[in-house]
Amino acid sequence: MPNPLSAGHLHLNFPTHPPPPSQYALSLLRPSQFPLAVIGIASFCQTSTLKSIYSQFNAALLDIFPASNQFPLARTCFVFEENDIATNLSASNDLPGVVIIPSMMGNKRLYIGTLLADLCSQILGEFGVVMQALESPFGNEYLNGSLLAALPPLSELPLSLDSDRRGSVPNFSSPDVLKSDSASTSIPPMKRNSSSGPNYRLGVQPPKKRLSTIGVASSHARLYKMLGDFFLLAGRTEDSTIWYTEALQLFKNSQDHAWHAAVLEGLATISVVEAWSAGHGLHNSTTSSKEPWSDAIEKLTQATTLYHKSPLYYEGESIYAPLAYLYSCCVLRHSSLLFAVWSAKGWGPLAFTTMLQPGPKAHLPPTLAHDEADQWLNLERLTKYSGISRSSISNVLGQIHGPWLLHLHPRERLSILTTMASVYACLGYKRKEAYLLREVLGCVMDLIVCGREEDGITKVSGPRNTGLGIENGNITPINPLTYLDQGSVAVRMSESSLGNDSVLRILKQVCKTIGIDLDAVKLVHASTQETELAESSQNEASTNDDGSELERPETYGWPELQVGVVREAVAVAEALPDFPAVAQFALSSLKTLQTVLSPGDQHHLYSTSMRAITTARRRGDSKFFEYWSGRPVVSVALAPVPLVRLPVEKHLSVLSKQKSDLTPIIQGITDPFLYNPRRVTAKKDQEIVAQNEVLEFVVVLQNPFIFDLELQCLSLSTSGVKFQSEPVRVVLPASSFHQVVIPGKVMATGILTIRGCFVQAPGGITQEFILPLNTAEEEERITRRKSALICEAERYKYWGLESLPWEKPKRSIKYHSSQLNPRTNLRFLECKVVPEQPLLRIRRTSVNHGALMLYEGERSTLRITLENISLLPIDFVHLAFDDSTIEPAQQALAEGAMSSSDVYETEHSLINQPVFTWNKSEGRLIPPGHTLSLSISCFGKSGCTNGNVHVSYSYTHRTDLEKPSDYFYTRQLSHPIMVTVYPMLQCQNMDLIPFPSYMDYIQTPSTTTYHNNLGVDDGASWCLFSVEVRNVYGSPFEVTFEREQYGTSHSSTTTTIPPGSTSRVVLPLRRTALSQEDTSKAIPTLSDRQFVVAKDKLSTAELHLQRELFWYREALFKSIQGYWKEVGGTRTGEMSLRQQRMTLPMLEAFKSNVARVDLSLISCDLPKENTIDGRRVWKANEFLKLKVRITNLSSFAIPLSLTLDLEPSDCLIYEGVIADIPIGRLDEGMTREIEFPICFLTNGHFELVAQVRAVGFDIKPAKAEIIAAVRS
């Protein structure tokens, strides 16, 4: 042993655990795996003695190492004094191995180093003692007696291996076997045999060598191997090489493959140690043409082959585990050497540092200790520099994995698999690491289960009968008294959770590698629940901002494998047991693997999670879970407020307008007027609700799973004014959408904002899900952002484990203003809360069963009584109406397919002939609890089948407001009415014909009387109006038509029309002349539309004629009115002629001429008039005067011309020109007379016609005609 203070290297390994009993058989074959010395550390105080400390040290040592085991070879106990206690240092001389370290000693570090050097010298001395025992024939036979040799029992040991000998510390002089001289002088003479090995190698032998065979000569190969091992442990590599070489020569011709392989492992180790000692291998790193580590690799490869070829049939199955362990360790040594060179970028100091000094983590070299070490580029760079590929290391390491692992004991198997997984992780083979970690978990769980069985947990907590406590006859309890005391009460044993976190961490790593995120549902402690809730709300808002929550979760991996691993994960967590982890794993699997889980798996995971949550709560666990089932809230909407409670906002300025202007403004829910696109408002984001009234919000929830999902708490997330509601508990049916109504009451006025919902699952924290409004701008922005993200994601290709959703790098994207609109603030559903409003109801009406029956054109009165049932007064009441005829008319107007005349008729029917009207002066104050009766006039309109009475009311002049408002709020109350209108009289075939002209020259008393009765003074200024009236009802009706014209007397005609009969009604009507200004006006519109686009393109003349027909038709309807009365009854009504059309002949008959022409014959001799049948007769060949009287009937001065037409013209003579005779310009109402001499030449009837035309005007000429009878 060198001087303790001399320079050099001393490599010590301090194991944390003693070797398991299963490795005791390797104590000679692999002595380096056993602790060579044990150091005890004790504290000496006043209450303790050195003997008691020594006894405790020996007892602890015997508890760890069996007395029959030759290891440890040396033992010592360092006793440290406390508080300057005076200790008798000579007392330790009687206690071998006890060293007292005084408290007053200054440099304890140097002293402890000296003590460690003495301990190493003691170990080296013990090496010599062991070799002396093995060199004896008796020990040599035990060394060669079995495949895995072991030292003899204590009773058969020589004196040198006695306990007294081992308990004393030898002197520091090295034994002869460890001197620095050659091995031939330090070791007693031994016969070197070159035989092929022991005779038991040639055939099948019993598992253990019989005692009768001990003492038979054996080969010294194993002894030389032991010498090589001890020299190598002592640091004498040259001597170790010599003995290894000697052993190798003997093993070549033998079948002792395990010991042969151990020799090759030792030689490989020597080559590495010598390279490290010779300047850290720098001289061999570049000069040699052959890789410096190739010799060691070859020896390790041969050793692996020899271990694999070792025969296993000599000693039964008990030898399988040690051989499998030796084989695995050899492969690990081979792969570790390659890994060290690869990770150090080649052979050199860093490679030796990697082998001797691990990095910050186990099995992690310094070159792979940085964060980006597992990237593919960095790993391939190491391959390029070292010349060793990752696949070659993986192939070597993969030799371990095989069926022989099943023969290893749990501890050895766990160690081997852990080391393999660590190497694969450093190589970047994450999937292989995960595969091995699954086996590691299997070993750990086997050890846990076995440990519980050894502790008796299984026996105590095993299945027992409850009730009377009667035990099964085949089961005998260990302690019957305990069972009797327990009775039928279940007992839960105390369980330790130490190490559970590490197991779960490994489990999560395995699952992440294959694409399962078991942390998808995070655990939250009760103390940080509020903080987590706020963070989740912020994350929810940011997630909603970029629209990523709308995307389906990205899947990765093999679904069948993932489902199997999930089952294992849940089973492992249950076996620990860790109930929060069980629930977390099950819920995370449901969240991330919902699309690939079968219905049975979903049911199992959900029921397991609920059972685990219940158990954890019962045991007092304070952890909560995040919400896990995606986004359960689909939408939140305010349930439609009942129409009777819906407030409608109005400006106070409408009250100052005329009451006629209130109709289109205050009716609110319906508009009986024409369709007006300017009054159509967009959908509001704010709903108006009243204070202190119950509101109902409809929440649509979804459950994508095949089991019923329970929500422990569901409530609204609101801001603004106070909203009072109670959370509800909901069970969502499987694979469905479900609606839940959450009632609540707003307690103050202002703005109520509904952000979304708070959802809490059983055992979870409350999480907020916000639901902003999907405005057009926001949807466009989210769409553009998603498109940009998809475009950006497609630019990168991911492969292998880099394609995991949580492993993909998050690259920030910078957008230009042209690509993405600036983000706007999220908008939510808002409710404007207005002050408390009054409430009105309809107490009674005057119609039975809500049905109204009328004749067409009949008018009736409806009484309606309103009652104020609120505590607020009502100072504003307004009625509005609609009926079934309004909507079709408005739709026809909106389509724009009608002509201008039809548009006018439709608008006239809507505005001037409403079904319901009321007297607006009846609305007045209604105090709380009082009633008000209103009268409504009903009109029997053809085609009406139903109608509605809408009552708008409000409390406008409020006295309870702190600040006056410019708005007031009305409510509407509707009452439907069924209307039946019976058609009974139909008007058809309206006609206008000229008044008969023969009445002018037939001057008889009867005709004069007839003219007087009709009020017709001149037939040329009158026309006859006629219309057919048909009775289609079963009762007779009396029909009356009246004439009301300016400048004429009132006239009417009445007739009774029996059922099924048709009567024509005739009434004289004075012809009317409208000015050109009036007839040139466009056809008006009665609505507020500025213009009506004509569908047909008409010429100027056609347009003028159309307008003329329209205006003369309107003048006709103003002059004629029709009424009916039920015969024998009191019901009356109006008859409408607006369905009748005016034709061009009717226009000519009704339209007055531009001028009036009167013709008369005057005798020159003024003889006595000759009449026949009341008609005057003129004589032939007498000169007469034809007198023409022309009167201007227009409203302005006009030049006229006269044209006469005398027929037959060859039977009479006249003087002058009779065509285009200029009359001159006549002012309005001016008359001029012209006389023409005329003589009839023969008897007969002569037709004399005069036409007066307006010069320069396109006006119909005036015409007059007389027939002259001539007799001789």
**Which three-class secondary structure state does DSSP give residue 523?**
strand
Provide the pLDDT for residue 907: 87
Most confident of 443-447, 789-793, 1093-1097, 1172-1176: 443-447
Give the closest residue to 1135 by CA, choosing from 1149, 1117, 1150. 1117
Task: Look up residue 1120 and give its amino acid.
Answer: I
d(CA 1251, CA 1230): 17
Banded pLDDT at 1027 (limits 50, 70, 90): very high
Banded pLDDT at 154 (limits 50, 70, 90): very low
Over residues 787-816, mean pLDDT: 61
Banded pLDDT at 243 (limits 50, 70, 90): very high
Provide the pLDDT for residue 921: 82
Give the closest residue to 50 by CA, choosing from 97, 103, 14. 97
pLDDT tens for 93-140 read 678 888 888 877 878 888 888 888 888 888 888 888 888 888 888 778
Q: What is the DSSP string of 928-953?
A: TT-EEEEEEEEE--TT--EEEEEEEE
d(CA 801, CA 1216): 123
Beta strands in 919-1058 (DSSP E): 931-939, 946-954, 967-982, 985-994, 1022-1031, 1037-1043, 1051-1057
d(CA 5, CA 175): 22
Asked if the model's pLDDT at residue 280 lies above 80, the reply is no
Asked if the model's pLDDT at residue 1143 lies above 90, the reply is yes
d(CA 359, CA 1070): 123
Provide the pLDDT for residue 1012: 57
Which residue has better confidence, 152 or 1196?
A: 1196
Provide the pLDDT for residue 369: 64
CB 523 within 8 A of CB 625: yes
* 568 Cβ contact partners less than 8 Å away, ≥ 6 residues apart: 438, 441
Give the closest residue to 593 by CA, choosing from 579, 578, 604. 604
Q: Give the pairing of strands 1183-1192 and 1231-1240.
A: antiparallel
d(CA 162, CA 171): 17
d(CA 488, CA 465): 8
Provide the pLDDT for residue 676: 38
pLDDT tens for 35-69 read 889 999 888 887 678 888 888 888 888 888 877 77
Ranking 229-243, 285-299, 811-825, 903-917 by mean pLDDT, the lowest is 811-825
- The 3-class secondary structure across 706-730, one letter per residue, is CCCEEEEEEEEEEEECCEEECCEEE
Banded pLDDT at 166 (limits 50, 70, 90): very low
Provide the pLDDT for residue 799: 61
pLDDT above 70 as % of the chain:
76
Most confident of 933-942, 955-964, 1089-1098, 1165-1174: 933-942
Provide the pLDDT for residue 915: 93
pLDDT tens for 141-150 read 878 878 887 7
User: How many residues comprise the chain?
Assistant: 1272
Asked if the model's pLDDT at residue 855 lies above 90, the reply is yes
Provide the pLDDT for residue 184: 31
Domain spanning 845-953: which CATH class is it, in words? mainly beta
Provide the pLDDT for residue 196: 31
Provide the pLDDT for residue 798: 61
Provide the pLDDT for residue 833: 94
Domain locations in the chain as residue ranges: 18-138, 286-462, 515-628, 632-672+682-772+826-836, 777-821, 845-953, 985-1150, 1155-1270
Provide the pLDDT for residue 46: 72
Provide the pLDDT for residue 920: 82
Banded pLDDT at 1094 (limits 50, 70, 90): low
Average pLDDT over the chain reads 79
Domains 632-672+682-772+826-836 and 845-953 share a fold: yes
Asked if the model's pLDDT at residue 504 lies above 60, the reply is yes
Overall fold of domain 1155-1270:
Immunoglobulin-like (2.60.40)
Provide the pLDDT for residue 608: 95
- Beta bridge partners, 41, equal 78
**Which three-class secondary structure state does DSSP give residue 901?**
helix
Over residues 966-971, mean pLDDT: 90
Give the closest residue to 594 by CA, choosing from 605, 607, 610. 605
| CA geometry: angle 238, 241, 247, nearest 5 deg | 150
Beta strands in 628-765 (DSSP E): 633-638, 647-651, 686-690, 694-703, 709-720, 723-725, 728-732, 736-746, 750-760
Ranking 249-253, 878-882, 1018-1022 by mean pLDDT, the lowest is 1018-1022
pLDDT tens for 72-81 read 888 899 888 8
Where do runs of H (alpha helix) occur along 547-688?
559-575, 579-592, 599-618, 659-666
DSSP run (H or E) holding 1010: helix 1005-1014
Phi then psi for 872, rounded to 5 degrees?
A: -115, 145
d(CA 364, CA 358): 6
Asked if the model's pLDDT at residue 637 lies above 90, the reply is yes
Banded pLDDT at 884 (limits 50, 70, 90): very high
Q: Which CATH number fits domain 632-672+682-772+826-836: 3.40.50.300, 2.30.110.10, 1.10.40.50, 2.60.40.10?
A: 2.60.40.10
Q: Give the pairing of strands 723-725 and 647-651.
A: unpaired
| CA geometry: angle 792, 795, 801, nearest 5 deg | 105
Task: Look up residue 541 and give its amino acid.
Answer: A
d(CA 143, CA 140): 5
pLDDT tens for 863-879 read 999 999 999 999 999 89
Place of tokens 């008889």: 1004
Asked if the model's pLDDT at residue 481 lies above 80, the reply is no
